[in-house]
C-alpha cells in the first residue's frame, strides 16, 4: 500500500486534477484506517501533506464512511 502511495506521489504528479487527487487520497485513507488506526499526523506524513489537509479529507470521508476518533487521537473506521 505505501509503495503505491509513493509511486502515486512521484510518477503521477500533475496527472490528476485536484478533485481526482482528493478522491484518491480519501479512498487510500479509508484503506489505511481499515488496516490499523492512525493519527492525523501519521496520515499527513504518509501523504506528504499538512495536517489541515488530512483533517479536511477525513471530514469529507466521514460523510460516507463512519470514522471515529478515540481519546488518544487515533482514527478508526467502524
Pick from 21, 18, 19, 34: which is nearest to 5 by CA? 21
Encode pLDDT of 21-56 as tens digits.
888 889 999 999 999 999 999 999 988 889 999 999
- Say whether pLDDT at 73 is over 80: yes
Q: Is the pLDDT of residue 5 over 70?
A: no
In percent, the amount of the chain with pLDDT more than 90 equals 56
Tell me which residue of 40, 27, 41, 46 sits closest to 75, measured CA to CA.
40
Q: Where are the domains of the chain?
A: 2-77
In this structure, CATH architecture of domain 2-77: Orthogonal Bundle (1.10)
* Predicted local confidence at residue 47, as pLDDT: 86
Average pLDDT over residues 16-23: 81
Amino acid at each position: 500500500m505505501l509503495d503505491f502511495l509513493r509511486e502515486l506521489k512521484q510518477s503521477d504528479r500533475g496527472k490528476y486534477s485536484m478533485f481526482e487527487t482528493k478522491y484518491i487520497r480519501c479512498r487510500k485513507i479509508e484503506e489505511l484506517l481499515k488496516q490499523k488506526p492512525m493519527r492525523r499526523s501519521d496520515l499527513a506524513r504518509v501523504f506528504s501533506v499538512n495536517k489541515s489537509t488530512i483533517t479536511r479529507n477525513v471530514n469529507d470521508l466521514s460523510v460516507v464512511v463512519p470514522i471515529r476518533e478515540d481519546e488518544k487521537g487515533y482514527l478508526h473506521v467502524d
